[in-house]
Amino acid sequence: MASISARRLSKELSEIRSEGCPVGINLVQADDFATWLFTIEVMGESLYQGEVHTLQFRFDTSYPISSPAVQFVVTDGKQAPVHPHVYSNGHICASILGNEWSPVLSVVAVCVTLQSMLASCKKKERPVDNDRYVRNAPDNPKKTRFHYDDDTV
Amino acid sequence: MNTRVPTVNDLRVKLCYICREEEHFDSAPQGPPKEWTHPCKCTLVAHESCLLKWIQTSQGDSSRAANALKCPQCGAQYELESDRPVVYRVIGAGNRLLQKAGRLFTLMSAVGAVVVFGSGVYILLTAYGAWAVKQLMGNEMFDLLLTDDPANWPWTAFFNLPSLTLSLILSRFQSIQQIPTLIPILLVWPPSTPIGAHSRLLDDYWTRPSDARTLALNSLPSLTSWPPSPFVFGLFLVPITRAIYRRFFAKLQHWVLGSTPLTSRRSNGLNLQLGDVGPFFLRIRVQDAQRPAEQVPAPAGGNEPADVAPEDLDPVAAAEQLIEIDSASFGRRVGGALLIPAISSVMGSFLFRLSKRSQLLRNILGVRPPLRGLLPPAFGLTLGAHDWEKLSFIKQLGMAFRLVLNATWNGTRTWAAADPVWWRNSLGLGIFVVAKDCIQLLHLWLAKRELETRRVKTRDFEGIDIKELDLIPSFVRNLA
């Protein structure tokens, strides 16, 4: 019997395949239940017009009890968007990926939330402690304990 | 006419918001049937087992614990029903109280350390060490060994006392196997000769022939005297007893809980505990997660992680995690360690008071009347230099050997003749440790039982428009 995480992810996958992703979000790769890739772009007027970024989801076997590890891909010439909550190594400081994760959320819901996080951005800049963080950052962003000090973005 | 408010069992399709499995009312579910629950005020429903797992996992993570019992959609509080006897709640409350005291202690010691830094720290450590010795040995022996006036102290005391304090604190930050507990350090005290006024008094006493004769009668106590000397006790009895006790207690734990708790499995306590030093890490934005269990296993392609069963937190580990959120703090750890001498003193005088009613206990404790200032010298050597020369070389050798052996097993005369306050205090501390371990075990067992008996309280769909719900045909028919 497949694990709960595999069964839930296969459901999410078949929903994506039958109903499609929301506008601006595209599934690139979901060959297994460990790593999925999406492209994400902000539609309409925004600071990120014309930019396409790649989002990587990594799941462990406790998904959806434990949150997925989500980050922007920064290899193969891809880049993370310049945003006050996105570090240059692709790690994202967003509470729904940490202490506000809930199993009621889904992969698509996370994509949509991150899309709107970009859309509402007023100034393109890196987080203040970007250099320090990137130097010491663990490979998996879930191992970082972020402080969600700014609830407005 | 159906006037009843629909419940989760009246839904045509139940969709668990956690695992996303569906169950139709008219088709048997795959596998064993699962309980469904509607715990909140909106339309979300879930398998009870999924929801309990989510609640349990969230409660085990201090950053998410606040949201563990809240519906992510409507924000209603989940209500849990479980077996929580009064004892469990009392112990839990006590645990939280100690936690608060520990935090206060952290704050106060932080302030204190800044104020008395440098030499102040040294004085503090030394004074604490002297106090600890006094607590553990009793006033009489303290007066023999150290006295209240530091001018009388042997030079070793200025090294031993502060290091005693440090070792007490450090003992809390090492794994159980390596604890250099205070007792060996306290008791392998250099065989101090009496100091100060006492020693002069003693010399006078000793030179009077009549008194010397009375002492000489029992100058060499037999090797089997009770209690054993501090040396034997600290170096052999304590480590052996502790090892046996640990093994026995681990067996007991295993028997009571059905598995071995994490704290007993940890090989290196320090790593984990550093993460608990909450207040000092506040300013650091980035910190490695403490529990490697959260790591995402990222197997290479071909290795299908989907086939791996989800790792269930076993109930003991989960219960432990719940309790530890309340109990792991720096202040509580160190404060607790520094209270050990006082605790042992209190327990010792308690035993002493009990011993007034029981001859057996009095024998076990080896209670002796106080010396009132008169005591034999460190070594019970009653031979004058003149006598010594009369003995043959073999006899001299034999005598010397007996003296050394005697001093090892019985301690110096100073130790052997004085009322062994240290002995009853150490026994008392032992009893305290056992009692404390038992309470902890009881707490853990109750916490585990609380987890196992948990149920989420299910509600009906009152307040929700019936049209929003996808109800089974028979319910709708009754409604019409």
A131 touches chain B (CB under 8 A): no
Q: Which residue on chain B is closest to A103 by alpha carbon? A: B18
* The two three-digit tokens of residue A36, written as one number: 């999925």
Residue A62, pLDDT > 90, answer no
Q: Which of A58, A100, A104 sits opposite B296 (nearest CB)?
A: A58
Chain B positions touching A7 (Cβ under 8 A) are: 19-21
Angle between helices B421-452 and B238-257 (to 10 degrees): 20
Active site residues of A: 93
Q: What is the pLDDT of residues B324-377, one digit of tens each?
A: 655 666 777 778 778 888 888 888 888 888 888 888 888 888 777 665 555 554
CB–CB of A32/B305 below 8 Å? yes
Q: Computed over its alpha carbons, how large is the radius of gyration of chain B?
A: 33
Which residues of chain B from 59 to 88 reach within 8 Å of chain A, CB to CB? Answer: 61, 63-64, 67, 72-73
What is the rounded distance in angstroms from the CA atom of residue B83 to the CA atom of residue B32? 25
Per-residue pLDDT, B292:
38
What integer best gives the mean pLDDT of chain A? 87
Give residues with Cβ within 8 angstroms of B162, minimum separation 6.
Answer: B122, B125, B126, B129
Chain A positions touching B285 (Cβ under 8 A) are: 129, 133, 146-147
Distances (CA, A) of A59 to A28, A69, A85: 16, 6, 22
Mean pLDDT value of segment A31-57: 89
Distances (CA, A) of B111 to A112, A113, B116, B332: 48, 44, 9, 16
Of B80, B86, B87, residue with least CA distance to B39? B80
* φ and ψ of B105, to 5 deg: -60, -40
What is the rounded distance in angstroms from the CA atom of residue A69 to the CA atom of residue A10? 18
Sign of CA dihedral B284, B285, B287, B290: positive
Q: Which residue on chain B is closest to A69 by alpha carbon? A: B296
CA A16-A7-B302 angle, 5° bins: 90
Angle between helices B330-338 and B157-171 (to 10 degrees): 140
Sign of CA dihedral B130, B131, B133, B134: positive
Give residues with Cβ within 8 angstroms of B45, minimum separation 6.
Answer: B8, B11, B14, B15, B16, B17, B36, B37, B38
CA B77-A59-B31 angle, 5° bins: 70
Per-residue pLDDT, B267:
37
Instruction: Answer whether B19 sits within 8 Å of A137, measured CB to CB.
Output: no
pLDDT band, residue A149 (cuts 50/70/90): low
> Which residue is associated with the tokens 């909106």?
B42
What is the rounded distance in angstroms from the CA atom of residue B477 to the CA atom of residue B412? 96
Chain A positions touching B286 (Cβ under 8 A) are: 129, 132-133, 136-137, 144-146
Chain A positions touching B73 (Cβ under 8 A) are: 104
* The two three-digit tokens of residue A153, written as one number: 């973005």
Q: Which domains does chain A have, with CATH numbers?
A: 4-139 (3.10.110.10)
Instruction: Answer whether A105 sits within 8 Å of B72, measured CB to CB.
Output: yes
Q: Which residue on chain A is closest to B290 by alpha carbon? A: A143
Q: What is the pLDDT of residues A93-106, one digit of tens each?
A: 888 888 889 999 99
A137 touches chain B (CB under 8 A): yes
Angle between helices B340-355 and B330-338 (to 10 degrees): 40
Instruction: Answer whether B297 sits within 8 Å of A61, measured CB to CB.
Output: yes
What is the rounded distance in angstroms from the CA atom of residue B443 to the CA atom of residue B9? 37
pLDDT band, residue A112 (cuts 50/70/90): very high
> What contacts 24+ positions apart, CB below 8 Å, involve B83-90?
B83/B449, B83/B450, B83/B453, B84/B446, B84/B450, B85/B446, B87/B442, B87/B446, B88/B443, B88/B446, B88/B447, B88/B449, B88/B450
Q: What stretches in chain B show pLDDT beneath 50?
A: 175-180, 182, 184, 187-188, 190-201, 206, 212-224, 265-311, 377-385
